Amino acid sequence: MRRILGTETEYGIIARSPHLPDPVANSLRLIAHCPGLLSPEAIWDYENENPFWDARGYRVEGEPERPGPHYNRQLNKILSNAGRLYVDGAHPEYSTPECSNPREALVYERAGDRIVADCLANLNATLGSDEFIVYRNNSDGKGNSFGYHENYLLPRRIPFDRLAAVLLPFFVTRQIYCGAGKVGAENGTDPVAYQLSQRADFFECLLDLNTMVGRPIINTRDEPHAHRTQYRRLHVIVGDSNMAEISTFLKIGTTAIIMDMLEQDGTFPDIDLSDPVHAIKQVSRDLTLKASLPLNNGKHTSALEVQQAYLHAAHRFYTTRECSPMTKDILVRWESVLNKLEQDPRSLHRELDWVAKHDLMASYMDRKGCSWNDPRVAMMDLQYHDIRPAKSLSYTLERSGQLERMTHDDEITHARQTAPKLTRAYFRGACLTRFPQQMYGMSWTSVLLETGNRAIKRIPLLDPYRGTQQLTVELFQDIETVDQLLSRLAH
């Protein structure tokens, strides 16, 4: 499996002091304490970014962000792994570099958590107290939701309406294994003690360009960060921020399989939910996973049956095609998880966030004789997502072997410092490592290098599959200056 993909995580930030109420200023404080930046003065290049193009074929009103150099440097930190740490809206956010497979994306996502945790430790150390706390979750419990986004590169030739038709039932129901778990309800939705997903309450329509209000199940942003005529980037906003590695791997891996099937004209189950917006909330509230979801043909299905239908379609698809070891791993885990969810969801307490969190809270309530509306239980919900290793309930479960890991600490450390080898991120990372003093700026599609006399040279990177280690090993061999690099690129 090789596909350009990556994730973006928005973090919740809380200040204990009432004198620090501004989340934007606090987010800027946090990322200003990012350790190990090779080019701390580099800017983010917004030249090829425009989030106002809609995949349905039009542009909405609005001006793309173009901050001046000083504020740009405050907003953006270019990381050694060719990823990005920045402030988006009122939140600190980490974008992985472009990865080549779901497991690599998982590793780089966890690297981002450690980078943000180090920022937090550095910031609090300067203040002499634990003034700030950062959470990897999706809700502040007061009606505000913040996002976690996945990105998958696809050929432009795939019609967007086909993408939407295939993905709607899949996205509505995949929360049964990638929901992060949530105490209570928000956004004016029906009350509930506990639900599968932190994000489900906040989706209000099927398709739209918005990500912050009137959130759609399918986001229509058409910003490929690549050659527009060749590629489209599916920008997925419907997922939760997971702490459990298996949940993250399945979330990205199963969706990547759907992308493969779309790209190669695979056959999908014919499932047409009558009301997907209602269904996504209904599924989130159904811990049995078997609630009846009405279809437009008058029949009914369940979240578990929908996922089983997509799994069976994937199995049929790969019976006549080469199947990589990673794809096989995803298929095996997908089938195993669905089988266990059908038999006994609690058996997945070491694998899935919503189950692990539910078990942790249920055990606490049994001991304390309290209920789901106890504020201590709400605090446990939040503390599960604390990014401080010593304070996080999910990290505590990991350390005691009660939450399964797929990654290793050494590869996460490596991912903090080194770009992926099989995407264009490698070229950006190599430029950053070799020419940190000459690095003026960077984006997903460019590197901006200073060539002397205040001249800036932009190197375009519109093909995400080029700029890999294999393709650039000779390019970077035995060069010491930017001029040498530019000369070789010219030839």
Task: Give the number of domains in the chain.
Answer: 2
Q: What CA–CA distance (Å, rounded) separates 479 from 387?
A: 40
pLDDT tens profile 146-185? 999 999 999 999 999 999 999 999 999 999 999 999 999 9
Q: Are residues 140 and 286 in the same domain?
A: yes
pTM over 0.75: yes
Residue 491: pLDDT band (50, 70, 90) is confident
pLDDT tens profile 447-490? 999 998 889 999 999 999 999 999 999 999 999 999 999 999 99
pLDDT tens profile 225-249? 999 999 999 999 999 999 999 999 9
**CATH code at 203?**
3.30.590
Domain closes at, from 413, 428, 446: 413
Task: Give the angle 387-337-333 at the CA atoms, nearest 5°.
Answer: 85
Largest Cα–Cα separation, the chain: 74
Q: Are residues 122 and 188 in the same domain?
A: yes
Q: Are residues 104 and 173 in the same domain?
A: yes
Residue 12 has pLDDT above 70, yes or no: yes
Which three-class secondary structure state does DSSP give residue 211? Answer: coil
Q: Are residues 421 and 379 in the same domain?
A: no
Q: Determine how β-strand 203-208 pairs with β-strand 215-219.
A: parallel
Q: Are residues 331 and 189 in the same domain?
A: yes
Q: Are residues 442 and 404 in the same domain?
A: no
More reliable by pLDDT, 490 or 106: 106
Q: What CA–CA distance (Å, rounded) separates 325 from 1?
A: 8
* 89 torsion bin: left (phi>0), alpha (psi -120 to 50), beta (else): left
Q: What CA–CA distance (Å, rounded) separates 333 from 245?
A: 12
The share of the chain scoring above pLDDT 70, in percent, equals 100
Q: Are residues 387 and 434 in the same domain?
A: no
Is 88 marked active-site? yes
CB 249 within 8 A of CB 106: yes
Q: Are residues 364 and 399 in the same domain?
A: yes
Mean pLDDT of 432-442: 97
Which of 22, 45, 54, 88 is flagged as catalytic? 88
Overall residue count recorded for the chain in this entry: 491
Which three-class secondary structure state does DSSP give residue 224? Answer: coil
Q: Are residues 278 and 138 in the same domain?
A: yes
Residue 1 has pLDDT above 70, yes or no: no
Q: Are residues 404 and 423 in the same domain?
A: no
Average pLDDT, the chain: 96
Q: What CA–CA distance (Å, rounded) separates 340 from 445?
A: 43
pLDDT computed for residue 452 by the predictor: 85
CB 90 within 8 A of CB 23: yes
In the β-sheet with 91-95, what is the strand arrangement from edge to edge? 76-78, 84-88, 91-95, 5-10, 148-155, 231-236
Domain closes at, from 397, 413, 429: 413
Mean pLDDT of 357-368: 97
**What's the start-to-end Cα distance of the chain, in Å?**
32
More reliable by pLDDT, 210 or 173: 173
Q: What CA–CA distance (Å, rounded) separates 49 from 368?
A: 52
Q: Are residues 211 and 85 in the same domain?
A: yes
Residue 109 has pLDDT above 90, yes or no: yes
Q: Are residues 352 and 364 in the same domain?
A: yes
Domain closes at, from 367, 383, 413: 413
Domain residues for the domain of 478 are 414-490
CB 32 within 8 A of CB 451: no
pLDDT computed for residue 89 by the predictor: 87
